[in-house]
Amino acid sequence: MITQTELLTKKGEHIRQMFGSIARVYDLLNTILSFNFDKSWRKFAVKVSGVTPDARIMDVCTGTGDLAIAYSRVLDSRGRVFGSDFCHEMVKLAVHKLIKRNLAGAIKVMDADTLHLPFRANTFQVTSVAFGIRNVSDLKAGIAEMARITEPGGRVVILEFSQPTNPVFKSIYYYYFKKILPCIGKLISRSKFNAYSYLPSSVLNFPDRNGLKAQMESCGLQDVKIYARTLGIVTVHVGRKLSTQTT
């Protein structure tokens, strides 16, 4: 069995296996463990993206497609959303969800690694990721690849778990996050990889909000805005690609 230490090395095959093991209950656990806040977090991320109704959107690490679906709701018939994930089990569930919701014509999902996206540079008005960039083996390379496919003047949007700053709330939240959440996740998912023990460990090992901002800036993104939600449990980072940037 893959250990927590091995998972935290972010080796692609380990992460892929872990997410494949929880794919069938991924949406259910997102709702339960976030107390249903995950939907409002995605809606807010879309709101601050500055998308136009005719935008082309790329959502990487799309999982079962929830952020891609949220983006599709603000587009008209000219707009198009693409989603990618390197876990095939997640992509299959996303396809099924889109067909069920009659959204297959508006959103296209595919198997693809965020480190090697199959698109030309400067293709999308917005490139987004929700709760996925933390799992990419090379954080800077993943952000750089997102920036590469974003058009000049477009935006890279990252919705990710963060670390609350209020001392009292932080202690309460961390008890839930590190003690209770893993138990609930393990009970429901029955994952042999202890995926929901990996979750808090990966968040605590991830750069804080200012560290993530610095990583985005190092990839050529400017005017990076940070929006904290739900007392800092999550943040939305929005960075603009330089109008003259062509990488």
Which CATH number characterizes residue 124's domain? 3.40.50.150
* Contact criterion met (CB below 8 Å) for 29 and 63: no
Q: Is 115 within a domain?
A: yes
Q: Percent of the chain having pLDDT more than 90?
A: 88
9 domain residue, yes or no? no
130: tokens are 């929700």
Helical (H) or strand (E) element with 184: helix 181-189
Q: pLDDT tens digit string along 97-127?
A: 999 999 999 999 999 999 999 999 999 999 9
For 31, the token pair is 């709702």
Q: Is residue 195 in a domain?
A: no
Tell me how far apart the alpha carbons of residues 211 and 214 are, in angstroms, rounded to a whole number.
5
Q: What is the DSSP letter of 48?
A: T
**What does DSSP assign to residue 116?**
B
Alpha helices in 56-163 (DSSP H): 66-72, 88-100, 139-149
For residue 128, tell me if it sits in a domain.
yes
**Residue 40 covered by a domain:** yes
The total number of structural domains that make up the chain: 1
Residue span of the structural domain in which 140 resides: 29-162+206-241
If 0-12 CB within 10 Å is exposed, 13-18 middle and 19+ buried, where does residue 223 land? exposed
| Cα dihedral value 180, 175, 194, 25, nearest 10 | 50
- Rounded alpha-carbon distances, angstroms, from residue 149 to 118, 123, 191, 223: 9, 5, 34, 18
Res. 200: pLDDT tops 70: yes
| Residue listed under structure tokens 């560290």 | 211
DSSP run (H or E) holding 22? helix 12-22
Is the model's pLDDT at 246 over the cut of 60?
Answer: no
Identify whether 219 is part of a domain: yes
Residue 98 inside a domain? The answer is yes
Compute φ and ψ for 235, nearest 5 degrees.
-130, 155
In the predicted model, is pLDDT for residue 19 greater than 90?
A: yes
Domain membership flag for residue 174? no
Residue 243 pLDDT more than 90?
A: no
Q: Is the pLDDT of residue 1 over 70?
A: no
Alpha-carbon distance of 123 to 120, in angstroms, equals 6
When pLDDT is cut at 50, 70 and 90, the band that residue 14 belongs to is: confident
Q: Does residue 172 surpass a pLDDT of 90?
A: yes
> What is the spatial order of strands in the sheet that 124-130 belongs to?
107-111, 80-85, 56-60, 124-130, 150-161, 234-241, 221-229
Position 6 scores a pLDDT of 60
